[in-house]
């Protein structure tokens, strides 16, 4: 594969996709041009790395934001705790369940109207979590 300065972003992405097409574990998300994700009462601004709930900015940690964005980019898709952990943390696995549970709990407190009955982040028992749009 040869990339040149004259290649557009789309051409570069297409070249990379064509090289990786044989790899079964590669997933392509065509969300490159989405700057803001909008849901009822919730907005995620990817350029500013901020979350707005009911017209107020929500203060999230780096990991909370990364978790929310990861789930929200694939609404209704169920992610295992291990998938979430591997996406957010760049270290070897240790206490995956506790770390992810703690992140989910803190995130729900900040973005859910009622964290005890969450609307956005749903627990899929025995599997993981999903974002409901």
| Confidence (pTM) | 0.69
pLDDT surpassing 90 at residue 53: yes
User: H or E segment at 52?
Assistant: strand 50-53
pLDDT at 69 over 80: yes
Question: What class is the 10-131 domain?
Answer: mainly alpha
Confirm if 115 and 109 have CB atoms less than 8 A apart. Answer: yes
Of 8-12, 17-21, 125-129, the poorest mean pLDDT is in 17-21
Q: What phi, psi does 126 have (nearest 5°)? A: 75, 0
Strand partners, 43: 38, 52
Domain spans, the chain: 10-131
Cα 93 versus chain centre, distance = 19
Q: Tell me: the pLDDT tens digits for 29-44?
A: 555 556 889 998 999 9
CA distance 24 to 5: 29
The answer, yes or no, to whether residue 3 has pLDDT greater than 70, is no
């Amino acid at each position: 594969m040869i990339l040149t300065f004259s290649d557009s972003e789309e051409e570069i992405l297409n070249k990379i996709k064509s090289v990786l097409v044989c790899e079964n574990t590669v997933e392509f998300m065509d969300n490159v041009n989405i700057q803001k994700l909008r849901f009822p009462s919730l907005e995620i601004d990817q350029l500013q790395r901020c979350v707005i709930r009911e017209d107020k900015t929500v203060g999230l940690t780096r990991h909370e934001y990364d978790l929310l964005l990861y789930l929200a980019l694939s609404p209704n898709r169920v992610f295992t705790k291990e998938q979430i952990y591997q996406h957010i943390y760049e270290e070897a696995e240790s206490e995956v369940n506790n770390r992810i549970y703690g992140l989910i709990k803190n995130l729900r407190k900040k973005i859910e109207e009622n964290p005890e009955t969450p609307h956005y982040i749903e627990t899929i028992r025995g599997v993981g979590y999903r974002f409901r749009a």
